[in-house]
Amino acid sequence: LLQGISLTAWRKLGQVKINSGETAQNYVIGKLLQHVPEALEIAHDFPSIDEARGVNLPRLSAELKKIDESIALLQELIEDENQNFPAPSHEVETSQSKALGNLTRFQQELSKYHEEAKKRLDLALSDFSEVCRYYGESYPPMDPELFFGEVSSLVRAIQAVTANSSSKNRRKAVAT
């Protein structure tokens, strides 16, 4: 879609009627369809709009913070246990030291997955922010549900105008 018209502006154009009775949004889409049809290929840019609408980035961030706190608490408990029950001096491993070793490995593995999840969320937030900027919006306040709702609405308008235009072209071809 051509840069310069934000998604919010597209929605507002859909609320304004012009002299012909159609919306200003449909009029602009029709003109773009006639002169720059490739500018309307937004539907191909967002094949999974409905799935994307359900992503709640703030909730994901909050959940990762809770997990971070839980990992820190687990680490603290492991350190306390290591101080209270030092490793046996002989080579025989006790059930308690074995359990503590397993718990330490689990905590390390959990930390590794948590760090990967944080990196991916940071990347998703950065990518989403970039997409918002490209379409004339900003994150925040724009969130995926609102953003992809606007995109979905615009895609439906483009599809309707395209179908209407194709129908008119077929009627003209039949009439001649």
* Whether the predicted pLDDT of 116 surpasses 80: yes
* Whether the predicted pLDDT of 174 surpasses 90: no
- pLDDT given at position 23: 95
* Whether the predicted pLDDT of 85 surpasses 90: no
* Whether the predicted pLDDT of 35 surpasses 80: yes
169 or 153: which leads in pLDDT: 153
d(CA 166, CA 170): 6
- The predicted model gives 86-106 an average pLDDT of 78
Mean residue pLDDT of the chain comes to 87
d(CA 62, CA 6): 29
